[in-house]
């Protein structure tokens, strides 16, 4: 039992449960009364009074005790007992004594009593301004208790925050305490922080002392038969040092003054007090992501990778900048301190320099042009800006924009690639630990990192490089969405730039547009920047002006009309740029375009979800155009304008094809707006009104109607041309453009210059200039002078490249792959044990060895030609230099050129020798991946002939294939479906207008199954007209097998392919001069083929089907036969057909054997195993300089020789390939 001596209690108390445990609850004198706890406020209720007898050192003491529930101990001896018995407590000796009957009795306190501590935690996050107090809600795991609260002493030491000692009463787990912040900085205490504890006393080991039982009224100790354990409490013995404080000094976060100032500045424009308070609480909770006082490196799963082609590391000397040396030194020291860079010993070295900004400060720049030249491009796309803008137009009322602080410097680099970022300065060589500006693949890496980090928030947050936008429909949702975004950023240790963040606004500037719940408009600053552009006098300046305007051309319905004079003088090829002239018409257009920006209301509406859209299109001889609108309350709202030039090929289309193309291009451009919405198409070309309900018998139009089936097109309506004015304008005065309107190079700078962009508004506008994709090749090769058509502002670059410099860079990057150093020959020979052994033998017996030593270098004496009497001396090349020499003599563009073994051997054998020289050259060239990809095989393709076993009779196995497209006939036929029986070689040819799945299934069923029956097996290629759901369902319904040939291996279905080569020349000879009536002769040619003797079967297909030869017009009168019985002819016919079929099958097998012998002669048949790495032949249209075999290796994952299934190692795509299209990768 635990007895507590409490000098702060006026009376003695006993726990009701303790009273029940000694069976004395019946002696309770029940009457309710109340006491006040030590705080002077909280009431304390008792149930009644009982007489207690306490055995103290063999003496019985008596006291009236109040009975209460939920005491913190069994018995509390208060001042009534202490005064009555003159109780004294010797702290040093831990002895309790009482005076009784003029004698003093002593007793030791229990040494096993320990203090238990109940942790007190903060229920909600708390922000405490500097030098102020705040009440806070706290909680404990016990539902109700009243006890003394003691704060952690480290709390005040580490955080200059003070919480007073206090007696706390907890009800339903909660109470309140006061926080005092005496420091000059605000504090933030996160939710769940342990701020202190409540004292609670417990006995760890019970005493073994026994006492006599007393039969008087209520003897608590006697009833238990145990000694009471006393613990004295004078409210000072529970010190903070008695427990291990789990609170670290960082629990309460001190907020830097600049961070607090930035946070208050960020919410200064929010005028609703509740919103301001909510945001303030949220921002201080995540104040670390707004702390810009130090550099942070994010903890991201994706690191930047720099993959380079085989090339010697580019190295340059530092640029001389004497005026900025001290500034650069200070910046380097700051980078080192922040661990953004580290000292390096890398073979790479790019020059670093400083660029002065408009505010007088400097930007640290590294010229990574040479590294970028050998870096393999990461083709990961950036998000489409137009899709992003349209996604925000779905009625969202609250927006917030977040900007990362020096975003690139927060992304780590893969450890193995850090040395590639090395840069040279006057103070030494350093390398980046984080992603620097100017690297080729920096933007796609940054985009991938941010997309990965914000994946859980993708429903309400969009990211474009370092710009994050959060959008919501309600205020509560927006606070929740911001919290989730902050959590995602905080978990990865990202830091935001509070000066560029915007929170809780109804409209926001994003990607050059101002976006609100209903409309999108161009940013006023961007429009003003365009208005400030001076009248151009050079072609490059005119292009910049048009490029800046084209960013907002969708807001100007008559843009193409007004800009036509400027387009007329800017659409010049490279050789005609000198013809640029700026005359009166161009001046007027320039002036009118500027006026349209301030006189026309520049806004487009966002579509309303439940209302249909109207797309009006038109086409002219040079271009196409369209306008998307929506009727709201009787008014037409303009949603999007589009126009573009037709290519020279498209200008040759017929009128219906151009009009259909206009519809298709508008659907492609406006896809984000059109998907999932009801659409009405308006066109002034009446034949297109039925494009969605029936075929038009035009391949291009029918294909377009198929491509737009995914859209919800309600109807196509014809309107008169006079009512179609706006699209007519857009089509007759279109702008030449690429299909990707916003397809701008990463970084918005020229590929030939990696300098950073300045913050000038004019430069930003100029950097948004667009170029057609087909002109980029020549453009990127041009220099950056002002008169060469470069559309980028020269102010954006830190220096320019002259043609001589570009040529020097090109030569260096092209011919610097030779790592062979002949000056190291002597040292390497001395390290080679074989050469040293040979040198020893030569010196001991020079006449017996075919070697000579000159200047301490070993030479091999050889005869250069078989019958030559002349001997020459060549260098004995050490083993360590063989690889670099072979690389130089084979891979180098000038000295090698990837030529054959004989050429390489011929070049090297005149100067060098080493053991097994030709074999090592052969193995090296065999293992060259480029040679394996590009070299043409002069031998037969690998893979031996595998013949299909002939069937037992007619129409069991058939092959199908399409021939065409041919010239359209008056009957609208363009294709021929060829069906060949594998046994009789009987052919059925069916002319068709197209090769769709529907036509194929219809012809197969009506013209073959209903006439000749259903075969057991059908063999076709993998064309979409055969491999589709319709024919698959028909196969299951009728019951036959259907197998497909290997892709790009027509030999699988060779019988049908062979007939195609026979059929085309024959029918070509019979058609008329216009070549469009071939279907009139088709059946006659097929009958002539079926009635002729086949070389393989030795019979005609007709004979094998009917048991007789057909009667032809030139045949004489047929013979007559007489049979005794009516069925004798039938029996005779069966015998004849049986003999024919037996002989035919034998002839087919014989011919297949002969074909196999001829085909397999001098042909290899490699066998591949699972896991082998191979290259696959590239099929389809390819250029003269394209590789013959795949540029990426593939792995065998399934074998069924001669068919293999391979998986691309990079794209993870599986494909089925015949052995003849495989080439084994040889690795040296």
pLDDT at 938 over 60: yes
Give the model confidence (pLDDT) of 636-657 as tens digits. 777 777 777 788 888 889 989 9
The answer to whether the CB of 960 falls within 8 A of the CB of 1202 is: no
838 vs 764, higher pLDDT:
838
Name the band, by pLDDT with cuts 50, 70 and 90, for residue 254: low
**Other C-beta atoms lying within 10 Å of the C-beta of residue 937:** 11
Does pLDDT of 762 surpass 50? no
For the record, the structure tokens of 371 come out as: 């590294």
Q: What is the pLDDT of residue 1002?
A: 92
Q: Are 1100 and 1094 in contact (CB under 8 A)?
A: yes
Three-state secondary structure along 750-819? CCCCCCCCCCCHHHHHHHCCCCCHHHHHHHHHCCCCCCCCCCCCHHHCCCCCCHHHHHHHHHHHHHCCCC
Whose structure tokens read 């003849």? 1220
Q: What is the DSSP string of 1020-1048?
A: E-S-TTTSSHHHHHHHHHHT-EEEEPPTT
Candidates 562, 539, 537, 536; CA nearest to 550 is 562
Calculate mean pLDDT across residues 96-106.
87
Give the contacts of 872 (CB within 8 A, at least 6 positions apart). Answer: 861, 862, 863, 864, 910
Q: How far apart are CA 180 and CA 155, in angstroms?
A: 11
Q: For residue 1221, what is the DSSP state?
A: G
How far apart, in whole angstroms, are the C-alpha atoms of residue 1194 and residue 1207? 5
Task: Please state, in angstroms and rounded to a whole number, the distance separating the CA atoms of residues 1189 and 1175.
Answer: 6
pLDDT value at residue 1099: 87
Helix axes 524-531, 584-599, angle to 10 degrees: 160
pLDDT in tens, 461-510: 988 877 888 999 899 999 999 999 999 999 999 999 888 898 988 887 77
Tell me the average pLDDT across 549-558: 60
Of the pLDDT bands very low, low, confident and very high (cuts 50, 70, 90), residue 115 is low
Sequence-separated contacts (24+) of 870-873 with Cβ below 8 Å: 872/910
Strands 362-366 and 350-356 come out as antiparallel
Contact 733, 564 (CB under 8 A): yes
Question: CB–CB of 157/245 below 8 Å?
Answer: no
Neighbours of 946 (CB within 10 A): 14
DSSP letters, 421-456, are G-EEETTEEEEESB--TT-TTHHHHHHHHHHHHTGG
Q: Which residues contact 229 (CB under 8 A, 6 or more apart)?
A: 1, 2, 3, 109, 110, 112, 113, 203, 206, 207
Burial tier of 224 (Cβ tally within 10 Å: 0-12, 13-18, 19+) = middle
- 278-to-274, 457, 1057 alpha-carbon distances in Å: 6, 21, 75
Nearest to 641 by CA among 657, 652, 625: 625
Rounded alpha-carbon distances, angstroms, from residue 552 to 47, 555, 603, 642, 762:
84, 6, 10, 11, 15
Q: SS3 of 557, please?
A: coil
Q: Which of 308, 316, 431, 458 is nearest to 375 (CA)?
A: 308
Burial code (b: 16+ CB inside 10 Å, e: under 16) for 1008-1021 equals beeebeebeebbbb
pLDDT digits (tens, 9 = 90+) for 803-855: 344 333 333 334 445 677 888 888 888 888 888 889 888 888 887 788 888 88
Please say if the pLDDT value at position 776 is more than 60.
Answer: no
- Write 1129-1132 long-range contacts (CB < 8 A, 24+): none
Report the pLDDT value the prediction gives residue 900, as an integer from 0 to 100. 79
User: Among candidates 1191, 1163, 697, which has minimal Cα distance to 969?
Assistant: 697
Rounded-to-integer distance, Cα 456 and Cα 235, Å: 52
CA 240 vs CA 66, 189, 202, 812: distances in Å: 32, 21, 17, 72
Residue 412 to residue 415: CA distance in whole angstroms: 9
Q: Report pLDDT digits (tens) over 871-923.
A: 888 899 998 888 888 888 887 776 667 787 888 888 888 888 899 888 888 88
**Interaxial angle between packed helices 1029-1038 and 997-1004, expressed in degrees from 0 to 180 and rounded to the nearest 10:** 20
- pLDDT of the residue at 344: 92
Q: Which residues contact 613 (CB under 8 A, 6 or more apart)?
A: 607, 628, 629, 630, 639, 673, 674, 677, 678, 679, 680
pLDDT (average), residues 1015-1038: 89
pLDDT recorded at residue 231: 40
For residues 90 and 108, what is the distance between their CA atoms, to the nearest angstrom? 10
Q: What is the mean pLDDT of the chain?
A: 76
| Nearest-angstrom CA–CA distance, 251 and 1055 | 81
List the beta bridge partners of residue 137: 176
Give 866-873 contacts, CB < 8 A, sequence gap 24+: 872/910
Range in 79-93, 267-281, 377-391, 1033-1047 the model is least confident about: 377-391
DSSP at 1009: I
Give the bridge partners for 1207, in sequence order. 1195, 1214
> Six-digit token pair at 185?
């900085």
Q: How confident is the model at residue 134 (pLDDT cuts 50, 70, 90)?
A: confident
* 656 contact partners, CB below 8 Å, separation of at least 6: 685, 687, 688, 696, 698, 701
pLDDT higher than 50, residue 1030: yes
Report the C-alpha gap between 862 and 745 in whole angstroms: 58
Q: Give the residue, 202 or 583, on which the prediction is more confident.
A: 583
Is the predicted pLDDT of residue 239 greater than 50, yes or no?
Answer: no
φ, ψ dihedrals at 954, nearest 5°: -70, 150
- Tokens 């100017």: give the residue: 438
Helices (H) and strands (E) in the chain, counts: 35, 52
CA 363 to chain centre: 30
- Helix 584-599 to helix 559-570 angle (10° resolution) is 150
CB-CB contact of 613 with 630 (8 Å): yes
Residues 531, 602: Cα–Cα separation, whole Å: 14
- Tell me what the mean pLDDT of segment 1004-1031 comes to: 90
- The Cβ-side half-sphere exposure at 342, using a 13 Å CA radius, reads 13
Report residue 251's pLDDT band, with 50, 70 and 90 as the boundaries: very low
Give pLDDT, residue 723. Answer: 56
Contact of 96 with 219, CB cutoff 8 Å: no
Give the percent of the chain with pLDDT over 90: 10
Per residue in 1102-1152, pLDDT tens?
888 888 888 777 777 766 667 777 777 777 788 888 888 888 888 888 887
Q: Which residues pair with 606 in a beta bridge?
A: none
In sequence order, the β-bridge partners of residue 402 are: 468
- pLDDT for 343 beyond 90: yes
């Amino acid at each position: 039992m635990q007895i507590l001596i409490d000098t702060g209690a006026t009376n003695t108390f006993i726990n009701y449960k303790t009273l029940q445990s000694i069976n004395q609850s019946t002696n309770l004198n029940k009457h309710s009364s109340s006491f006040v706890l030590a705080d002077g406020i909280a009431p304390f209720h008792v149930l009644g009074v009982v007489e207690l007898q306490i055995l103290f050192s063999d003496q019985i003491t008596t006291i009236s005790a109040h009975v209460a529930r939920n005491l913190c101990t069994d018995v509390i001896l208060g001042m009534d007992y202490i005064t009555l018995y003159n109780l004294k407590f010797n702290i040093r000796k831990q002895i309790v004594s009482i005076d009784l009957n003029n004698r003093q009795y002593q007793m030791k306190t229990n040494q096993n009593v320990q203090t238990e501590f109940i942790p007190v935690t903060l229920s909600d996050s708390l922000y405490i301004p500097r030098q102020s107090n705040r009440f806070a809600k706290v909680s404990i795991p016990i539902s109700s208790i009243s006890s003394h609260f003691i704060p952690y002493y480290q709390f005040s030491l580490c955080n200059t925050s003070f919480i007073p000692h206090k007696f706390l009463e907890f009800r339903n787990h909660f109470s309140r305490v006061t926080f005092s912040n005496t420091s000059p900085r605000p504090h933030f205490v996160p939710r769940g922080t342990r701020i202190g504890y409540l004292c609670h006393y417990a006995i760890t080991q019970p005493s073994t002392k026994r006492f006599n039982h007393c039969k008087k009224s209520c003897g608590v100790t006697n009833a238990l038969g145990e000694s009471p354990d006393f613990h004295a409490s004078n409210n000072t013995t529970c010190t903070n040092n008695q427990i291990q404080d789990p609170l670290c000094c960082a629990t309460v976060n001190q907020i830097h003054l600049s961070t607090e100032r930035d946070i208050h500045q960020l919410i200064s424009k929010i005028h609703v007090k509740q919103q301001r308070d909510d945001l303030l609480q949220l921002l201080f909770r995540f104040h670390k992501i707004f702390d810009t006082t130090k550099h942070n490196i994010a903890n991201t799963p994706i690191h930047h990778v720099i993959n380079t082609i085989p090339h010697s590391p580019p190295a340059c000397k530092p640029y001389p900048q004497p005026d900025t040396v001290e500034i650069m030194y200070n910046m380097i020291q700051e980078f080192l301190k922040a661990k953004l860079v580290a000292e390096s010993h890398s073979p790479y070295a790019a020059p670093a320099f400083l660029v002065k900004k408009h505010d007088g400060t400097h930007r640290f720049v590294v010229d990574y042009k040479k590294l970028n030249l050998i870096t393999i491009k990461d083709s990961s796309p950036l998000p489409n800006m137009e899709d992003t803008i349209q996604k925000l137009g779905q009625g969202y009322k609250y927006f917030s924009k977040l900007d990362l602080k020096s975003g690139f410097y927060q992304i780590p680099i893969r450890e193995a690639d850090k040395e590639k970022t090395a840069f040279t300065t006057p103070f030494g060589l350093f390398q980046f630990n984080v992603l620097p500006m100017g690297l080729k693949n920096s933007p796609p890496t940054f985009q991938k990192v941010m997309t990965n980090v914000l994946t859980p928030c993708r429903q309400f947050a969009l990211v474009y490089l370092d710009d994050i936008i959060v959008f919501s429909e309600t205020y509560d949702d927006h606070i929740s969405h911001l919290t989730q975004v902050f959590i995602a950023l905080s978990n990865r240790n990202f830091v935001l730039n509070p000066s560029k963040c915007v929170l809780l606004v109804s409209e926001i500037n994003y990607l050059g547009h101002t976006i609100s719940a209903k409309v999108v408009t161009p940013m006023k600053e961007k429009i003003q920047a365009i208005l400030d552009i001076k009248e151009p006098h050079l072609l490059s300046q005119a292009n910049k002006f048009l490029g800046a305007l084209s960013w907002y051309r969708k807001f100007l319905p008559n843009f193409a009309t007004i800009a036509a004079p400027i387009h007329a003088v800017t659409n010049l090829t490279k050789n005609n740029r000198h013809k640029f002239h700026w005359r009166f018409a161009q001046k007027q257009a320039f002036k009118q375009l500027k006026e349209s920006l301030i006189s026309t209301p520049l806004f487009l509406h966002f579509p309303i979800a439940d209302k249909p859209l109207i797309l009006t299109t038109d086409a002219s001889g040079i271009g196409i155009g369209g306008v998307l609108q929506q009727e709201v309350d009787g008014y037409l709202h303009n949603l999007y304008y589009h126009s573009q030039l037709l290519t020279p090929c498209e200008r040759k289309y017929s009128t219906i094809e151009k009009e259909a193309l206009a519809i298709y291009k508008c659907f492609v451009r406006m896809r984000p707006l059109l998907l999932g919405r009801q659409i009405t198409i308006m066109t002034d070309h009446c034949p297109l009104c039925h494009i969605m309900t029936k075929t038009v018998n035009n391949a291009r139009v029918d294909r377009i109607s198929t491509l737009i089936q995914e859209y919800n097109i309600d109807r196509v309506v014809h309107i008169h041309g006079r009512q179609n004015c706006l699209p007519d304008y857009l089509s007759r005065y279109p702008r030449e453009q690429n299909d990707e309107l916003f397809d701008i190079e990463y970084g918005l700078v020229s590929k030939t210059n990696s300098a950073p962009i300045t913050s000038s508004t004019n430069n930003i506008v100029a950097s948004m200039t667009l170029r057609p994709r087909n002109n980029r090749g020549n453009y990127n090769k041009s220099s950056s002078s002002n008169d060469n058509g470069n559309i980028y502002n020269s102010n954006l670059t830190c220096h320019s490249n002259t043609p001589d410099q570009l040529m020097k860079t090109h030569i260096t990057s092209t011919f610097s792959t030779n790592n062979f150093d002949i000056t190291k020959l002597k040292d390497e020979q001395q390290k080679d044990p074989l050469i040293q052994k040979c040198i020893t033998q030569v010196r001991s017996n020079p006449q017996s060895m075919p070697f000579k030593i000159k200047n301490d270098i070993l030479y091999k004496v050889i005869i250069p030609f078989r019958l030559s009497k002349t001997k020459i001396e060549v260098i004995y090349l050490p083993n360590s230099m063989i690889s670099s020499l072979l690389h130089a003599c084979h891979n180098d563009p000038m000295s090698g050129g990837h030529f054959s073994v004989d050429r390489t051997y011929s070049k090297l054998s005149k100067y060098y020798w080493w053991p097994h020289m030709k074999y090592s050259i052969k193995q090296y060239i065999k293992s060259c991946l480029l040679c394996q990809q590009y070299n043409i095989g002069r031998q037969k393709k690998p893979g031996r002939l595998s013949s299909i076993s002939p069937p037992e009779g007619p129409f069991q196995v058939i092959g199908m294939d399409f021939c065409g497209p041919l010239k359209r006939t008056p009957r609208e036929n363009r294709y021929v479906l060829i069906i060949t029986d594998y046994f009789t070689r009987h052919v059925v040819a069916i002319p068709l207008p197209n090769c769709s799945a529907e036509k194929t299934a219809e012809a197969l069923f009506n013209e073959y199954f209903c006439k000749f029956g259903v075969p057991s097996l059908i063999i076709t290629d993998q064309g979409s007209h055969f491999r589709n759901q319709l024919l698959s369902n028909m196969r299951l319904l009728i019951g036959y097998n259907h197998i497909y040939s290997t892709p790009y291996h027509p030999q699988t279905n060779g019988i049908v392919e062979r007939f195609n080569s026979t059929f085309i020349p024959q029918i070509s000879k019979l058609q008329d001069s216009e070549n469009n009536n071939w279907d009139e002769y088709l059946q006659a040619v097929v009958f002539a083929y079926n009635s002729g003797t086949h070389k393989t079967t030795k019979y005609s297909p007709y004979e094998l089907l009917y048991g007789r030869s057909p009667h032809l017009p030139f045949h004489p009168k047929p013979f007559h036969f007489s049979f005794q019985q009516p069925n004798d002819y039938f029996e005779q016919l069966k015998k004849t057909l049986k003999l024919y079929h037996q002989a035919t099958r034998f002839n087919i097998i014989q011919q297949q054997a002969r074909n196999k012998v001829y085909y397999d002669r001098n042909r290899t048949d490699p066998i591949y195993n699972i896991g082998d790495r191979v290259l696959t032949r590239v099929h389809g249209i390819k250029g003269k300089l394209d590789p013959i075999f795949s540029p990426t290796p593939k792995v065998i994952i399934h074998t069924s020789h001669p068919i293999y299934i391979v998986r691309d190692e990079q794209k993870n795509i599986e494909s089925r390939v015949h052995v003849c299209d495989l080439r084994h990768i040889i690795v040296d």
